[in-house]
Amino acid sequence: MRSVDVHEPLSRPGDVSVGERIFQDFAERYRQYFPRVFAYVYGRIRDVQAAEDIASEVFERAFVKAETLRHEEAFGTWLFTIARNLLISYCRKRSRFGGPVNSDLIDSLPGEDVPEDSYLEREEVAKIMGHVRRFPRREQDIIALKFDAELTNVQIAGIMNLSESNVRVILCRTLQKLRKILQEEA
């Protein structure tokens, strides 16, 4: 065993401490998942400021509770479960205090190069979202997790406490129902 001189530095230049490594790993996950978490949250509440706050709180909670995660490969599912729970709390607080959730989708979508095309696209998205908002809550959540958060059916199943096949069936039926509504309007 080698003796250590009291005056010898414990780490060499370029060495990364355990704490720094944990922080760097989490920062990488933040960069990877933040856009999807934000898209999911924003897709549900349509308020940029609130969506940023909630998405930030998702990552804050995930960082603080990181040691409770049993399997690293479940990080994404765990993260979206936190996001879903925070959204539920947010919506409950808003309804309790009489504040409606902002659903003005048309004004919140980014512009395109051709204003007429952009307007028509935003109008179409707003129409589709209006129909989706009339669906049962579970169907809305599955649609948001699939298309806003871009999660797989397996990940959605973990978040929603459903089987993967059940998610697939609900998603298929919901999209068929939406397609039928849109065809009847045309």
pTM of the predicted protein model? 0.60
Question: Quick one: 74 and 128 in the same domain?
Answer: no
Question: Quick one: 125 and 70 in the same domain?
Answer: no
Question: What's the token pair of residue 141?
Answer: 């959540």
Longest dimension (CA), the chain: 81
* Residue pLDDT, tens place only, 97-150: 655 544 433 333 333 344 455 566 677 777 888 888 899 999 999 998 998 888
d(CA 80, CA 58): 8
* Residue pLDDT, tens place only, 51-102: 999 999 999 999 888 888 888 888 988 999 999 999 988 988 887 665 554 4
Q: Residue 149 falls within a domain, yes or no?
A: yes
Q: Which structural domain, as residue segments, surrounds residue 153? A: 115-186
Task: Write down the pLDDT at residue 91.
Answer: 84
